[in-house]
């Protein structure tokens, strides 16, 4: 079973280019005085939802070229 740090690692070298998350759309430094919000909201470009074309969860730990048939193509 994959741990939470790996599940939400947005720096995975084989992360699907079609995975999106909120932090991609703003450029602001992290403020250590402000509590972290839940940044773990991911979606697939193809489905525009939290599930990929294959019906599985769209999160960094699952969306890599080594374990997803729909990687980069949108074809389940």
Residues of the chain with pLDDT under 50: none
> What is the residue whose two structure tokens read 């294959």?
54
Cα distances (angstroms) measured from residue 10 to each of 21, 43, 76 = 9, 13, 22
The model's pTM is 0.78
Q: Is the dihedral of CA 40, 45, 47, 52 positive or negative?
A: negative
* pLDDT the model gives residue 17: 93
10: Cβ contacts below 8 Å, ≥ 6 apart: 21, 23, 60
* pLDDT the model gives residue 5: 76
Cα separation, 68 vs 60, whole angstroms: 11
């Amino acid at each position: 079973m994959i741990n939470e740090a790996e599940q939400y690692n947005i720096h995975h070298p084989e992360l699907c280019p079609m995975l999106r998350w909120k932090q991609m759309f703003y450029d602001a430094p992290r403020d250590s005085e402000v509590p972290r919000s839940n940044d773990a909201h991911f979606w697939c470009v193809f489905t525009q939802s939290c599930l990929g074309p294959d019906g599985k969860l769209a999160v960094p730990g699952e969306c890599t070229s080594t374990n997803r048939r729909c990687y980069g193509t949108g074809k389940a």
